[in-house]
Amino acid sequence: MSTTKDYYAILYDFISKNQTLWQVTIISSEGSTPAKPGMKMLIPLTGKVFGNLGGGELEHLLISRVREEQPSSPILETYLLNDDGEKPERTEGIQLSMVCGGKVSLFIEPLFSSNILYIIGAGHCGKALAHLAGLCDFQTRLIDNRPEALQNIPPEICSDLHLSDYTDLEKHIQFNQNALIVIMTQGHIYDEQVLEQCLGKPFRYLGMIGSKRKAAKTFQMLKDKDYSDKDLQNIHCPVGLAIGSKKPYEIAISILAEIILELSKDKV
């Protein structure tokens, strides 16, 4: 990274797009390690990393570890960079076989909300859900195949708007164990098309709007395509808690309540 300005411009770009990102900062170092206090690196879920942690085994380990474990809370750790073969106690630090020697303490910081809600369909219900979820501190992304549906949506409703023909959702959804996805397009054909792209991918919550009759028909269609009951068991369809909701914001309340209920399982 050539300048501090470049680094923070990239950081701002990632955050403004609600992309999954971690920042690793060297807090302190001892000995001859090339890692020095203040060094930083931005690690996105995929693709190029930005910044510098001194290179070597430590840097490569952190990149692979962060992407594999995808921590959702901050981590403060110490690494021992020597190759004397001695294995210290866990409290002393994590042993690495590096010839430089020394000790490095670092801070791994997730710079994204783990509660990113992807809403496919920017109709009345989609916009209501995005608005309500934003008020509850969720990051939201509205995805639609109609330019006119995304036009003039004010930032207080949703500022992360994506135009897609629904065949390239991996460009717009970061599928991982934290992904929250609600499908509510303008037609059953699109709903089923989107749902198929989500099956087999990691997610925390996957819901699709529709009646019990639509749900039964959709599930049978998927079984006819050789999807198993196991593939379908985690789909919330009809989506939302059964509270008799009819209007867009009532439907949004029922869906968001179900998502919050799912996330609350982490706190039990």
pLDDT one digit per residue (tens) for the chain, 268 residues: 458 899 999 999 888 776 779 999 999 998 878 889 999 999 988 889 999 998 888 899 999 999 888 887 899 999 887 654 443 343 354 545 444 557 899 999 998 776 789 999 999 999 999 999 988 988 899 999 999 999 989 988 988 899 999 999 999 998 988 899 999 999 888 998 999 999 989 999 999 998 888 888 888 988 998 888 888 989 999 999 999 999 999 999 999 999 999 999 876 5
> Quick one: pLDDT at residue 87?
37
Does the predicted model carry a pTM greater than 0.85?
no
Q: What is the pLDDT of residue 71?
A: 86
List strand residue ranges (DSSP E) for the chain, in order. Answer: 21-30, 40-44, 50-51, 75-81, 94-96, 103-110, 116-120, 139-144, 161-163, 180-183, 205-208, 235-236
pLDDT value of residue 268? 55
Q: What crossing angle do the helices spanning 248-263 and 124-135 adopt, rounded to 10°?
A: 50
- The amino acid that residue 264 corresponds to is S
Closest CA relative to residue 141, chosen from 170, 113, 162, 165? 162
User: Helices (H), strands (E): how many in the chain?
Assistant: 8, 12
pLDDT value at residue 187: 84
At residue 89, the pLDDT reads 42
Name the architecture of domain 116-267.
3-Layer(aba) Sandwich (3.40)
Comma-separated ranges of CATH 3.40.50.720 domains in the chain:
116-267
Specify the 3-state DSSP secondary structure of 113. Answer: coil
pLDDT at position 2 is: 58
Q: Cα-atom radius of gyration of the chain, to the nearest Å? A: 22
143 vs 120: CA distance, rounded Å: 5
SS3 25: strand
Report the distance separating Cα 206 and Cα 179, nearest Å.
8
